[in-house]
């Protein structure tokens, strides 16, 4: 007797209790999200939207130049604000130029304007450069002098020594180049070299703008030997003393210019109590005199000298940063690492993935690791070889990255192929990415464990705090006025579920464990077989911890994906689902 065979339905139950982050690849783990908005990793492995931001009462089309010292500062409507006060003497009417800020002790240096501000005394500010030019017809005299400025008198000059010299007679020997000043000694009956000789340049107010040991350039002198760089050995309001030699004093009424200039540089940073910079035009790297950002042409053969070097690599510089005691100057295909504490420094070149052009603001250190946007994606760098951390972006291409750091997170806002600005956050401690929103962030700064940024919505620019729940310390001055943003919309879209099962299948009894603040909202959508149509399967108001049980059976399908849309603070702990397998056809 033949008995009938009973075909049992192959059922299984699966649980997702640990949620990972953003992953834009075609095939991704089922606990990752192919697309999302305003999701964060703060409660990972629990799924959660980001915390609210704070918006400050600071806005305007001309808001830019965000920086941080002991307090937060910015430029708005051409005026510099710091610690709630206006620095009335510094104005920045041109907002087309990006400002770059360097901190050196109490001083804030602002480029390319080349000005400084003493943040301990905001009435102390001014230009890093100085220039004085005499007017045509004003007398300028050049005289041979001693170190104290007293003039040498009754000296002679020539190719041969004078006849019948007396003790202490002076003679400028013009038979050698450079000329030498000698003094006769009756004891030895020889002319003894005076190795240190000086020239005093005198004219009304010629020394007011300069300091002792400034490196200055002289131009317009009728004696061409003085149209060069010199070190100011001493000064008064009406004179400067430089090292040099004269065979006779002279004066001129032609215009004379004395200047102390900085090189034209593209990127800047501070390291070892010096300011460093680089020039793509000259393919050079520079640093200031030790502790003195005003002097970049000071070469006295001592440890505090300024420094300059030409590098031989191709391409333009794309960024600069101080990292682990070294100075790094990036190009797109290499990095120049500066070693040493005093000049001459050592420059080591490594041909690695450098900083993408236009993404110099992506250079940010989180904990002890440097992150930046390379031409091939986001990388992490600890001094050796960069390691890619951008696999989550799939084949999406981004550029013009701007970044900031908050605790273990690397915030980076980039432009995509559709010319949209998008903010992503990488959690270093959990090794996951999340996508926040399409916000046009122009610059970040970190202060007192808080992350600030300026965003441009097309009509005006606003100052934000990235995470209002992380607010640490008290806001002072003009930053005291702020408000929390309203409840915002968020969503998360899973990848394709069911690709590992070749059979057609049904999904049923989908159970979601979650909690939510009062009046928070959640909508759940399904899409089957990648048909592009989202079907709403549930809409809920949440105000407590509990479960949402979707007692439904999906259409028979090969695969599906789910999208969660919400508003308010909702946390999802787990998703369970039952799967009933069918045939492969």
> Could you report the per-residue pLDDT of 295-336, keeping only the tens digit for each?
999 999 999 999 999 999 999 999 999 999 999 999 999 999
Task: Flag whether 236 is in a domain.
Answer: yes
Last residue of a domain, one of 438, 469, 502: 438
Return the pLDDT at 584. 57
DSSP letters, 433-485, are EEE-----EEEEEEETTEEEEEEE-SS-EEEEES-GGG--S---GGGG-EEEP
How much is the pLDDT for 384? 92
- pLDDT of res. 476: 45
Same domain (yes/no): 155, 20: no
Whether residue 477 has pLDDT greater than 50: no
pTM, whole model, 2 decimals? 0.91
Do 170 and 246 lie in a common domain?
yes
What is the CATH classification number for the domain harbouring 511?
Answer: 2.60.120.260
Half-sphere exposure at residue 527, Cβ-oriented, CA atoms within 13 angstroms: 13
Domain membership of residue 71 (yes or no) is no
- Shared domain for 519 and 576, answered yes or no, is yes
410 and 500 belong to one structural domain: no
Give the residue from 260, 279, 298 where a domain finishes.
Answer: 260
Residues 422 and 503 in one domain: no
- Asked whether residue 234 falls in the same domain as residue 281, the answer is no
409 and 519 share a domain? no
**Domain check: are 244 and 144 in the same one?**
yes
Does 469 fall in a domain? no
Mean pLDDT value of segment 139-146: 96
Number of structural domains in the chain? 3
Is residue 16 within a helix (H) or strand (E), and if so which, with residue range?
strand 10-16
Map 181-245 to HEC letters.
EEEEECCCCEEEEECCCEEEEECCCCCCCCCCCCEEEEECCCCHHHCCEEEEEEEECCEEEEECC
Q: What percent of the chain has pLDDT over 70?
A: 95
The 10s digit of each residue's pLDDT in 418-439 is 999 999 999 999 999 999 999 9
Residue 50 resides in a domain = no
Collect all residues with Cβ–Cβ distance below 8 Å to 452 and sequence separation of at least 6: 66, 68, 72, 444, 445, 446, 463, 464, 465, 466
In a domain, 277, yes or no: yes
CATH number at residue 387: 2.120.10.80
Q: Are residues 434 and 551 in the same domain?
A: no
pLDDT tens-digit readout, 64-76: 999 999 899 999 9
Q: Residue 83 falls within a domain, yes or no? A: no
Claim to verify: residue 371 and residue 244 sit in the same structural domain: no
89, part of any domain? no
Q: Are residues 181 and 270 in the same domain?
A: no
Last residue of a domain, one of 423, 438, 453: 438
Kindly tell me the burial class for residue 365, based on how many C-beta atoms sit within 10 Å of its own C-beta (0-12, 13-18, 19 or more).
middle
Q: Which range has the worst mean pLDDT, 38-47, 92-101, 140-149, 291-300?
A: 92-101
* β-pair partners for 83: none
Domain membership of residue 267 as a residue range: 263-438
Residue 480 lies in a domain: no
Say if residue 177 is in the same domain as residue 271: no
List pLDDT tens digits, range 542-560: 877 767 776 666 777 888 8
């Amino acid at each position: 007797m033949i008995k009938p065979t009973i075909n049992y339905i192959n059922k299984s139950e699966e649980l997702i209790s640990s949620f990972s982050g953003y992953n834009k690849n075609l095939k991704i783990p089922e606990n990752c999200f192919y697309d999302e908005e305003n999701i964060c990793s703060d409660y990972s492995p629990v799924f959660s939207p980001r915390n609210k931001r704070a918006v400050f009462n600071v806005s305007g089309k001309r808001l830019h130049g965000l920086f941080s010292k002991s307090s937060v500062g910015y430029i708005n409507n051409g005026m510099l604000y710091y610690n709630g006060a206006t620095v009335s003497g510094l104005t920045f009417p041109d907002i087309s130029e990006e400002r770059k800020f360097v901190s050196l002790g109490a001083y804030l240096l602002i480029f390319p304007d080349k000005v400084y501000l003493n943040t301990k005394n905001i009435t102390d500010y001014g230009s890093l450069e100085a220039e004085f030019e005499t007017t045509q017809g004003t007398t300028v005299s050049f005289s041979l002098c001693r170190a104290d400025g007293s003039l040498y008198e009754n000296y002679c000059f020539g190719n041969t020594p004078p006849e019948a010299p007396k003790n202490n007679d002076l003679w400028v020997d013009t038979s050698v180049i450079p000329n030498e000043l000698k003094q006769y000694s009756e004891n030895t009956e020889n002319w003894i070299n005076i190795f240190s000789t000086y020239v005093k340049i005198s004219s009304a107010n010629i020394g007011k703008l300069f300091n002792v040991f400034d490196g200055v350039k002289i131009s317009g002198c009728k004696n061409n030997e003085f149209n060069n760089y010199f070190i100011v050995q001493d000064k008064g309001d009406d004179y400067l003393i430089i090292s040099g030699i004269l065979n006779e004093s002279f004066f001129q009424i032609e215009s004379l210019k004395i200047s102390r200039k900085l090189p034209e540089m593209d990127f800047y940073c501070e390291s070892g109590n010096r300011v460093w910079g680089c020039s793509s035009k000259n393919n050079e790297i520079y640093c200031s005199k030790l502790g003195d950002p005003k002097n970049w042409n000071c070469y006295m053969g001592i440890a505090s000298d300024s420094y300059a070097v030409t590098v031989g690599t191709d391409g333009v510089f794309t960024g600069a940063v101080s990292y682990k005691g070294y100075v790094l100057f990036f190009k797109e295909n290499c990095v120049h690492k500066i070693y040493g504490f005093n000049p001459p420094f050592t420059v080591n070149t490594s041909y690695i993935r450098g900083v993408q052009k236009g993404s110099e603001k992506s250079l940010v250190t989180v904990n002890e690791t440097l992150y930046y946007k390379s031409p091939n994606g986001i990388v992490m760098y600890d001094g050796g070889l960069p390691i890619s951390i951008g696999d989550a972006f799939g084949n999406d291409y981004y550029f013009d990255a701007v970044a900031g750091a908050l605790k273990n997170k690397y915030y980076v806002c980039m432009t995509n192929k559709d010319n949209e600005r998008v903010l992503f956050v990488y959690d270093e401690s959990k090794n996951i990415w999340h996508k926040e929103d399409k916000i046009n962030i122009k610059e970040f700064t970190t202060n007192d464990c808080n992350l600030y940024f300026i965003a441009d919505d097309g009509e005006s620019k606003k100052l934000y705090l990235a995470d209002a729940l992380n607010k640490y310390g008290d806001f002072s001055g003009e930053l005291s006025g702020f408000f929390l943003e309203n409840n915002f919309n968020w969503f998360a879209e899973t990848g394709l579920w069911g690709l590992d099962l070749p059979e057609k299948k049904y999904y049923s009894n989908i159970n979601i464990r979650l909690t939510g603040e009062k009046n928070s909202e959640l909508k759940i959508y399904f899409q089957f077989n990648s048909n592009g149509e989202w079907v709403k399967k549930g809409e809920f108001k949440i105000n407590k911890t509990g479960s949402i049980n979707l007692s439904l059976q999906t259409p028979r399908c090969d695969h599906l994906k789910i999208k969660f849309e919400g508003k308010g603070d909702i946390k999802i702990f787990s998703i369970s689902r039952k799967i009933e397998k069918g045939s492969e056809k």
